[in-house]
Structure 1
C-alpha cells in the first residue's frame, strides 16, 4: 500500500514540476501559452500583486488558506512517519520448489513468531518485528521474562523452538535475530542469535 502511495505521489509531483518547468521554458523561448495559464510571456510573473491580493477581503479566503496548509502539513507528517516505519518487512519470499516462489506476509510470520515465543516457559510477553529483505529476512525480538527465568535459558529455547519453527515455516536457510531480553525488575539485555537450517547428516 505504501509503495503504491509513494509511486502515485512521486508521479503527480513529477508531472506538476514538469508542467511548471516546461511552461516557464516555453514562455522564456517565446512560445504561445493557453489563455487560461498563470502567465503569458517572458516578462510576466507567476503571481502578480493583483492575483495575490484579489481574495484578501473575502471572508472565506484566510480560513481556506489555513485549512489547506493544515491538511498539507498533516499529510506531510503522515508520509514522513510512514517512511520512517518502512524498515519493517512486509513480505518474505518462500521457496516453493518451482523456481518462482511465493510471498508470505511479514505480519503473519511476526504474529506466529511472537505467539510461539510468548508460549515459552517463563516468557511474560513477546514482540517480533521483521526487517531485511524478502530473500534474507532478519527479526528483532523483545522478550519480557519472569523474575525466576535465566536469560540464557530463555534465549536457548527461543532459538531452538520459536525461531526454528519460523525458519522452517518460511523455508529459509537462516533467520538471524536480534533479541532483547527484559527480566522483570532488571535492565534489558540485548544479544544476537542465529537460526540456520540444520545440516543433513
Structure 2
C-alpha cells in the first residue's frame, strides 16, 4: 500500500505540474500576444492565440449546454474527482501509521510487534505520569525504523520540562527496549488542559 500510494503521489504531482505549466504557458502566450509579437507558429489547437481569446466561446458554451448528456457528464466527472480527492486525503492520513514493527529477538530470528499494541502501552504509561491528563501516541516511519508522534495534555500545575523528561526516560525508553531499537525519534506536542471558571458565592 505504501509503495502504491507513493507512486500515485508522484504521478499526481507530475500530472498537476504539467497541467499547471501548460495552462500557464498558454495563458501567458495569449495575454502577451506573443504569437504576433514574436512571430510564433502555435498549434491550431492552442486555446489562447491572442489577448481577447477565451477557452470556450459563447457559441461553444450554448452548443454544449444544449446537449442532453452535457450536465450529467459534468456532474459525474466532478463526483469522480471529489471521490478521488477524498480517497487521496484519507490515504495520506492513514499511510504513515505503522501497523507492525520488526523486532530482533537476538537469536537470529525476527519477531513482529503490533504497532497498535505498542502505541497503547506507551499511551497508558504516559498517562500514568504525574501531571499528564491525557496522551495520544501514533507510530510512524518504517517497520525497522519506527518514529513516534506523542500528544500530551498537561494539568495546569504540571511542569512541561519534567513531563518531557519522564516521558523520555520511562515510557519511551520502555518502548525502545520493547521494539529492540537503539533510537526512536519522537515529536511531542504539549497542550495545557483548561478548566472552566466557576462562580463562587
TM-score range, shorter chain: 0.5 to 0.7
Superposed CA deviations along residues 163-186 of structure 1, whole A, max 9, x for unmatched, are 12212222222223222222335x
Task: Tell me which residue corresponds to 2:132.
Answer: 123
Distance across 2 between alignment mates of 1:165 and 1:183: 25
Task: Tell me the TM-score normalized by structure 2.
Answer: 0.56
Task: Tell me which residue corresponds to 2:174.
Answer: 165
Pick closer, same or farther for the CA change 1:159–1:57 going to 2, 3 Å.
Answer: closer
Pick closer, same or farther for the CA change 1:66–1:173 going to 2, 3 Å.
Answer: same
Distance across 2 between alignment mates of 1:104 and 1:121: 28
Task: Tell me which residue corresponds to 1:15.
Answer: none
Aligned residues, how many? 142
Where in structure 2 are the equivalents of 1:3-42 lying within 5 Å?
3=2, 6=5
Match of 2:122 among 90, 106, 113: 113
How far has the Cα of 1:4 moved from its partner?
8.3
Superposed CA deviations along residues 134-166 of structure 1, whole A, max 9, x for unmatched, are 222121211111111112221222122211221
Q: Is the 8 A contact 2:5 2:91 kept in 1?
A: no
CA RMSD of aligned residues (A): 3.4
Q: Is the 8 A contact 2:103 2:179 kept in 1?
A: yes
Pick closer, same or farther for the CA change 1:177–1:95 going to 2, 3 Å.
Answer: same
Superposed CA deviations along residues 57-97 of structure 1, whole A, max 9, x for unmatched, are 66x87436623540343123312441354333332211123
Distance across 1 between alignment mates of 2:163 and 2:93: 31
Task: Tell me which residue corresponds to 1:32.
Answer: none
User: What are structure 2's unaligned runs of at least 5 residues?
Assistant: 10-62, 195-201
Where in structure 2 are the equivalents of 1:1-201 lying within 5 Å?
2-3=1-2, 6=5, 62-63=71-72, 66-67=75-76, 69-83=78-92, 85-184=94-193
Task: Tell me the TM-score normalized by structure 1.
Answer: 0.56
Q: Is the 8 A contact 2:97 2:140 kept in 1?
A: yes
Q: Is the 8 A contact 2:101 2:143 kept in 1?
A: yes
Pick closer, same or farther for the CA change 1:57–1:155 going to 2, 3 Å.
Answer: closer
